[in-house]
Structure 1
Amino acid sequence: MSSTSAHAQHRVCFQLQVKPELIPEYRRRHAAVWPDMLRALKSTGWNRYSIFLRPDGLLIGYFETESLAASQSGMAAIEVNARWQAEMGAFFVALDGAPDTGFVQLEEVFNLAAQLDCLAASSVA
Structure 2
Amino acid sequence: MKTAFKMHLKPGCKEEYRSRHAAIWPELKQLLTQNGIADYTIFLDESTNTLFAVQHQSNNSSSQDLGADPIVQRWWAYMSDLMLTNPDNSPISEPLEQVFHMD
Q: TM-score range by the shorter chain?
A: 0.7 to 0.9
Paired residue for 2:60?
Answer: 67
Q: What are the superposed Cα offsets for residues 31-83 of structure 1, whole Å, 9 maximum, x if unpaired? A: 111111111111112221111123342210001222136x544x234321111
Kindly report structure 1 stretches of 4+ aligned residues shifted beyond 6 Å. Answer: none
The two structures, once aligned, show a CA RMSD in angstroms of 2.0
TM-score normalised by L of structure 2? 0.81
What aligned pairs does 1:1-125 form with structure 2 within 5 A after superposition?
9=1, 11-56=2-47, 57-65=49-57, 66-68=59-61, 72-73=64-65, 75-93=66-84, 95-96=85-86, 98-99=90-91, 102-113=92-103
C-alpha displacement of 1:89? 2.3
Q: Which has the higher contact order (CA 8 A, sep 6+)?
A: 2
Gaps of 5+ in 2: none
* CA distance 1:92–1:63, change in 2 (3 Å): same
Q: Which amino acid aligns with 1:88?
A: M
CA contact (8 A) 2:35 2:61 kept: no
> Over alpha carbons, which structure has the higher Rg?
1
CA contact (8 A) 2:9 2:82 kept: yes
* CA distance 1:47–1:112, change in 2 (3 Å): same
* CA distance 1:16–1:76, change in 2 (3 Å): closer
More helix by share: 1
Distance of 1:109 and 1:32 partners within structure 2? 33
Q: Which amino acid aligns with 2:55?
A: F
* CA distance 1:53–1:72, change in 2 (3 Å): closer
